[in-house]
Structure 1
């Protein structure tokens, strides 16, 4: 019985935690905001959308003019903390599911093929991931934290396994990186929306940082 129950719980617990949280938060909102919130949480699962686009989209609000329809639409903003916690929790839950059910996840058609591709790149010492290995825990935290395409909980969990980290350590690293990254994006988005000059400065700084990171990674 125990041999059946534990694997079953490992499959069911992560999605139950994630879905329950997102449903509870959504039902605490007004209907229009609820739809926006659920849509953004769902959209986060589909590339190329990432935390760097989903969180600002949630925080943004106000009256906007729709030229073709000649209408003024009101978009309700979502609290930055709610967006940050929600997206970070999704990464954390995805990571928990992957580290608990790695062999099972590899059998899922599209997901399995993606995991094998990441594993192959990691084993070949791809420059894209090579910098993480010597940093281990900190490397996974930074990888998940920095808002780059394909740097979420799924890939972070795969890389943690590849560099020999324990499942619990990998999950903790991914969760730490997710929360740090999401709260940073939420904070700077709120700051940017309050001042156009600050927004331009933040975008410029982000571009410079990303260029430096890209050059540094390619030089390794």
Structure 2
């Protein structure tokens, strides 16, 4: 593949391009979105990259005012950049300052996940696609890419699986969340109940994630 040859000749491209895609997307968005939605967009991007909330940030983005399709495209683009970064740099990540320790911890997490769920070793392309598509805790393109590489899949095969899974999962969740929002507008009591349950579930999931991380350290 030409893209692989270019990255091999100029290794820095593999690091710069994924981040450049995100910056270009933000710059283009700043032209078309009002300032309040730019703030919402930046908050969504920061929350998605810095927390384990995953695609569950999409309903939050829609509530914050972003159109459902924009919320879905935003998360898809972040996943695309992450998958591209992993495809180009997986073997070199451990030598990058600050990123290396994170990657080593991610490998430990994946190995622990596979150890606790031996059936993952029998992952095929279809099951890996399903794993990335569903809004499972931790089932993003970074985790999916590591699982795919650890079970022996080709890096670019894993990349396209990540892209397809994210496209289906992100757009599907965005459309579903917007449909639910429209329904709940006319059912305020039901909406408040579901919102409280969702917030409690997200908080409990975050506490469980922190407890699990501490137990592994």
Give the alignment's TM-score, normalised by structure 1.
Answer: 0.73
More helix by share: 2
- In the alignment, structure 1 residue 146 sits paired with structure 2 residue 149: no
The secondary structure found in structure 2 opposite 1:103 is: coil
Aligned to 1:94: 82
Aligned to 1:55: 58
The secondary structure found in structure 2 opposite 1:126 is: helix
Contact 1:88 1:182 in 2 (8 A): yes
The secondary structure found in structure 2 opposite 1:147 is: coil
Give the alignment's TM-score, normalised by structure 2.
Answer: 0.74
The separation in 2 between residues aligned to 1:51 and 1:140, in whole angstroms, is 17
- In the alignment, structure 1 residue 190 sits paired with structure 2 residue 178: yes
The separation in 1 between residues aligned to 2:7 and 2:26, in whole angstroms, is 30
Q: 1:153 to 1:85 in 2, by over 3 A?
A: same
Aligned to 1:174: 162
Q: 1:159 to 1:106 in 2, by over 3 A?
A: same
Question: Could you say what the CA RMSD is over the residues aligned between the two structures, in angstroms?
Answer: 2.7
Q: 1:3 to 1:165 in 2, by over 3 A?
A: closer
Q: How many residues align?
A: 186
> Higher Cα Rg: structure 1 or 2?
1
Larger RCO: 1 or 2 (CA < 8 Å, sep 6+):
2
Unmatched runs of 5 consecutive residues or more in structure 2: 1-5, 202-217
Equivalent residue for 1:82, pick from 58, 70, 73: 70
Moved over 6 A (4+): 197-201
Unmatched runs of 5 consecutive residues or more in structure 1: 62-76, 208-220
